[in-house]
Amino acid sequence: MDKTIESKKFAPGSNGGSIRRTIKYENELDKNFAKKIADIAHGEAMYNCIQCGTCSATCPVSHYMDFTPRKIIAMVREGFKDEVLSSSTVWMCASCYSCTVECPKEIKITDVMYALKREAIAGGYYPKHFPTPALATSFFDQVKKNGRSSEGPLLVKVFLKTNPFKMFGNALLGWKLWKTGRMSMKSEKIKDRKGFAKLLNGLDKVKEVAVK
């Protein structure tokens, strides 16, 4: 059983001859997961999904995802929390809203993806060097502090967090941008940073109300 058949012709998604046991028991599911994710504005529509697959069909990057958007909705509904939050899907989503527009049940799929992104970050489900969540969190921190995002310092920060060597690969692009005046290392800030901080603190103070 530990002998894998030698062959170079294994298709992606197949087991290549090795044995993998796939079964899901009820006690491994998170029965509250669906409710938590559906707790966003207009989130109840998610329960009406008929699994038609239009979202996956129209998503321009669904063929790169490990679980297509349709599968994600099915898995969220049933409580496959770990699989969903550790998938690459949520980080591949570019928020193009094609799925939301085409869905015949008017499910706000992009918003579900955002909710999953938030859960994944909050639960620490993403590998630290994965660029997309690193971009999101760095962006968040920068805007929280300064009130504006500054693309130059942001990109540097993200590269440092994920893959410093990539910076060399993008050096030419960076130089061209700088020469055309489209890149600066200046940190943009708003004037009323105090008021901005008060705004964000004010939100923390307000009791957690379901955003319906």
Partner 1 sequence: MKYLYYPGCSLKCTGRAYEESLLAVFKALKIDYTEIEDWNCCGATAYMAVDEVNAFSIAARNLALAEKQFEKEEEIQVIAPCAACYMVLIKTMKYLNESPALKEKTVHALKEAGLNFTGRVKVRHPLDVLINDIGIEAIAKAKKHPLKGIKVASYYGCQTVRPYSTFDDQRDPQTMDNLVKALGAEPVDWPLKTRCCGGSLTGTVAEVGLPLSYILLKEAARHGADVVVTACPLCQFNLECYQTDINKKFNEDINLPVMYFSQLMGLAMDIPQKELGMQRLFVKPEKVLKTVKGGEPAYV
Partner 2 sequence: MSSTNGNGSPRIGFYVCHCGHNIASVVNVEEVQKFVATLPGVIVSRDYKYMCSDPGQELIQNDIKEFKLNRIVVASCSPLLHEHTFRVAAEKGGLNPYYFHMINIRENVSWVNTDKVMATEKAKDLARAGIQRVFFHKPLIKKEVPINPAVMIVGGGIAGIHAALTIANAGKRVYLVEREATIGGHMAMFDKTFPTLDCAACILTPKMSAVKNNPNITLWTYAEVEKVEGFVGSYKATVRHKPRYIKEDLCVGCMDCIDACIYKEAKYPDEFNQGLSMRKPVYIPFPQATPQVVLVDPETCIDFKSRRCKKTCIEACDRDAIDLHQIDTYEEIEVGTIILSTGFKPFDAKRAPQYGYGKHQNVFTALEVERLVNASGPTNGEVLTRDGKKPKSVGIIHCVGSRDAKTNKWCSRVCCMYSLKLAHLIKEHTDAEVYNFYIDMRTPGKGYEEFYDKLLKEGVHFIRGRVAEVTDWALMPEEKDRLTIRVEDTLIGTVRRIPVDMVVLATGLVPRDDAQEIRRMFNISCSNEGFFLERHPKLAPVSTFTDGIFIAGACQGPKDIPDSVAQAGAAAAEALSLICAGKIELEPNTAQIIEKDCSGCKSCIPLCPYSAITFKDDIQKAYINEALCKGCGTCVAACPSGSIIQNLFEDEEIFSEIDGLLKFAGLETGALCSTEMEVQ
Please give the residue ranges that form the binding site for partner 1 (CB under 8 A).
40-42, 60-61, 64, 91-92, 94-98, 100-101, 110, 114-115, 117-118, 121, 131-133, 135-137, 139-140, 143-144, 147-152, 155, 158, 172-173, 176-177, 179-184, 188, 190-192, 195-196, 198-203, 206, 209-212
> Which partner in partner 1, partner 2, none is near 19 (CB below 5 to 8 A by kind)?
none
Distance CA 159, CA 164 (A): 5
**Residue at token pair 């909050």:** 122
Q: Other CB atoms closer than 10 Å to residue 6's CB: what's the count?
A: 7
Q: Which is nearer to partner 1, 50 or 101 (CB)?
A: 101
> Which partner in partner 1, partner 2, none is near 190 (CB below 5 to 8 A by kind)?
partner 1
Contact assessment for residue 116 and residue 76, using Cβ atoms and an 8 Å cutoff: yes
**Distance in Å, CB of 113 to partner 1, minimum:** 9
**Distance in Å, CB of 208 to partner 1, minimum:** 9
For the chain, the C-alpha Rg in angstroms (whole number) is 21
Distance CA 96, CA 58 (A): 10
**Distance in Å, CB of 7 to partner 1, minimum:** 25
Contact assessment for residue 58 and residue 52, using Cβ atoms and an 8 Å cutoff: no
Q: Which is nearer to partner 1, 28 or 106 (CB)?
A: 106
Cα distances (angstroms) measured from residue 13 to each of 10, 59, 65, 73, 134: 9, 20, 12, 20, 27
> Which partner in partner 1, partner 2, none is near 104 (CB below 5 to 8 A by kind)?
partner 2
Q: Which two tokens stand for residue 30?
A: 């998170």
**Distance in Å, CB of 94 to partner 1, minimum:** 4
Residues that bind partner 2 (CB under 8 A): 13, 50-58, 62-63, 68, 70-71, 98, 102, 104-106
Q: Which is nearer to partner 1, 31 or 148 (CB)?
A: 148
Contact assessment for residue 111 and residue 42, using Cβ atoms and an 8 Å cutoff: yes
Distance CA 130, CA 75 (A): 23
> Which partner in partner 1, partner 2, none is near 57 (CB below 5 to 8 A by kind)?
partner 2
